[in-house]
Amino acid sequence: MPRYQATLLIELKEGILDPQGRAVEGVLKDLGHPVESVRVGKVLEVVFRAEGPLEAEAKARELAQLLANPVMETWALEALKELP
């Protein structure tokens, strides 16, 4: 079975205050950068085996739903590639 790598992006939902992002934003501003806002999220790179690209995508979405908390987060499948 081919190997795939899924890149999952998990972010706090819009409207949920992100104090970590605020802290980073504050430091960047203190350094003089013209920054408007910063949000901090997570990137997960998951490597797994699947029969083909369709099954790999379905599996990647299933994993994202398992790993993100819908109360406070959104997720996106940023990339899916077959590994050599």
Partner 1 sequence: MRWAIVRFPGSNCDEDARFALKKAGIRAEFVWHTERDLRGFDGVFLPGGFSYGDYLRAGALAAKSPVMEAVRRFAEEGRYVVGVCNGFQVLTEAGLLPGALLANLNLHFTCKEVGVRVERVDLPFTRLYGKGQVLRLPIAHAEGRYHADPETLARLEGEGRVVFRYAPLKGEADYNPNGSLHDIAGIVNEKGNVLGMMPHPERAVDGLLGGEDGLPFFLGPVREVVG
CB of 23 to partner 1, least distance (A): 6
Question: Taking CB under 8 A as the rule, does residue 71 contact partner 1?
Answer: yes
User: Which one of 17, 31, 47, 54 is in contact with partner 1 (CB under 8 A)?
Assistant: 17
Question: Taking CB under 8 A as the rule, does residue 67 contact partner 1?
Answer: yes
| DSSP summary character for residue 60 | H
What ranges make up the beta strands (E) of 1-84?
3-12, 42-49, 73-83
Residue 29 DSSP SS3 = helix
Map tokens 């939902």 to a residue: 13
Question: Taking CB under 8 A as the rule, does residue 76 contact partner 1?
Answer: no
User: Which one of 1, 2, 3, 23 is in contact with partner 1 (CB under 8 A)?
Assistant: 23
Map tokens 């993100």 to a residue: 68
User: Which one of 53, 69, 79, 82 is in contact with partner 1 (CB under 8 A)?
Assistant: 69
Burial classification of residue 83, based on how many CB atoms lie within 10 Å of its CB (0-12 exposed, 13-18 middle, 19 or more buried): exposed
- Chain contacts with partner 1 (rule: CB under 8 A): 16-17, 19-20, 23, 42, 66-67, 69, 71-72
